[in-house]
């Protein structure tokens, strides 16, 4: 997740992440990777749609990857839980 | 949304939709379209991951489309709201 040109979606308002994407593109990035897991997946989709529809209509979806991450439990002996992930690659 | 071989994700438990997908494939479908909007997008990703990882590992993601739908407001004069959508095409 430490890859450059990536925006990791958390619990902040949509516009924070939209601005992060636009800033990366204005800084010369050709691609921006929007990543999220769990409930933030819906927010990630909102972010990329706002970027494209409201601010940068020439941005395209290059790729959308779906996956699962296993979270190691905090307590010993607990079963690990699976969480779905998404990575949306935007191309300018 | 009335297209055959499509599963529209709502508010039921994940396994209901997983079973719907598996039933379509067992009935001979080559492709199944999993569609969701708004908060159900996260659930849609969970559904396709469970189908692939737990039940049908030979199923592939053919395409993931992201979009926006405009909801016409119930009250007259209210502004229409946008809702994000996803359509994940599974291929057997």
Mean confidence (pLDDT) of chain A: 93
Contacts with A61 from chain B: Cβ below 8 Å: 66
Name the pLDDT band for A79 (thresholds 50, 70, 90).
confident
CB contact under 8 A, B42 and A46: no
ipTM: 0.86
Q: Chain A residue closest to B85 (CA)?
A: A45
Residue B27 pLDDT > 50:
yes
DSSP assignment of A27-69: TT-SEEEEEEETTHHHHHHHHHHHIIIII-TT-EEEEEEEEEE
pLDDT band (50, 70, 90) for residue B75? confident
How far is it, in rounded angstroms, from Cα B42 to Cα B20? 17
Q: Does A91 lie at the interface with B, CB-CB under 8 angstroms?
A: no
Quick one: what percent of chain B has pLDDT higher than 90? 83
pTM (2 decimals)?
A: 0.89
Q: Does A86 touch chain B (CB under 8 A)?
A: yes
Residue B55 backbone zone (phi > 0: left; psi -120 to 50: alpha; other: beta): alpha
Strand partners, A57: none
The vertex-B8 CA angle with A37 and A14, nearest 5°, equals 35
Q: How many CA atoms lie within 13 A of A2 on its CB side?
A: 0
Please state the rounded mean pLDDT for residues B41-70: 96
Kindly indicate the confidence band of residue B76, based on its pLDDT and cuts at 50, 70 and 90: confident
Q: Of chain B residues 36-65, which have a CB less than 8 A from chain A?
A: 38-39, 41-42, 45-46, 48-49, 53, 61, 64
Distance CA A38, CA A20 (A): 20
DSSP β-ladder status, B6-8 and A81-91: unpaired
Please give the domain boundaries of chain A with CATH numbers for all domains. Answer: 3-91 (3.30.110.20)
Q: What whole-number percentage of chain A has pLDDT above 70?
A: 97
């Amino acid at each position: 997740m430490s890859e450059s040109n990536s925006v990791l979606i958390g619990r902040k308002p949509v516009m924070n992440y939209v601005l992060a994407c636009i800033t990366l593109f204005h800084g010369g990035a050709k691609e921006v990777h929007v990543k999220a897991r769990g409930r933030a997946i819906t927010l990630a989709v909102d972010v990329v749609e706002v970027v494209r529809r409201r601010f940068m209509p020439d941005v395209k979806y290059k790729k959308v990857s779906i996956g699962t991450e296993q979270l190691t439990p905090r307590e010993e002996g607990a079963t690990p839980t699976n969480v779905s992930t998404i990575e949306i690659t935007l191309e300018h």
